[in-house]
Amino acid sequence: MQGITRQPLHQRSTQITAQAIEELQVLAKTADDPYFLAVKFIKPHLPFTAPKKYWDLYPKESVKLPGNCLISKNASKEANYGWGELRNYSDIPKKGPITDDKVRRLICCDYACVGYTDAKVGKVLNELDRLGLKENTIIVLWGDHG
């Protein structure tokens, strides 16, 4: 489900970043023409994979669980089963609650993947700046993780 990886498991984000930078370099040659470039990073979606340095930033012991991270005790038992893809991973129980330890690990996984994606977005933005396109570009960051 999650862990430190070597290429190629998290290589897709690296490829997306490289392609975006290449496109910006082409667009910079015609900087007076309007352009649109959409760059879609897949992370932090499952599977949770990122280079080791991002995992090292978030030790599991440092995560404090929020008071409302689990399903309410008054919720129907069916509410515990609607976690879709997450339940398909071998270290996640098919039914029932997930342990506090596993929830902490999942939070660390999410943090590592968000940090990794943030670094990739930063590379694209740095290239935009380096090419002199930043001042005449509208940048929209859009995510589905709140």
Residue range 93-112: mean pLDDT, rounded:
87
Q: How far is CA 26 from the centre of its chain?
A: 27
The CATH code of the domain that includes 100 is 3.40.720.10
Give the containing element (helix H, strand E) for 115.
helix 100-130
Domain assignment present for 141: no
Look at residue 26 in the predicted model and tell me its pLDDT.
Answer: 94
* pLDDT band per the 50, 70, 90 thresholds, residue 21: very high
Distance of CA 33 to the CA centre of its chain: 32
Q: Is residue 142 part of a domain?
A: no
Range of the domain at 109: 2-136
Could you give the number of structural domains in the chain?
1
Is residue 143 in some structural domain?
no
Domain presence at residue 53: yes
Q: What is the pTM of this model?
A: 0.80
Please indicate, yes or no, if residue 146 is contained in any of the structural domains.
no
pLDDT in tens, 56-85: 999 999 998 887 766 677 777 666 556 678
Residue 106: CB atoms within 10 Å: 20
Establish if 144 belongs to a structural domain. no
Residue 145 included in any domain: no
- In-domain check, residue 16: yes
Instruction: Confirm if 31 and 101 have CB atoms less than 8 A apart.
Output: no
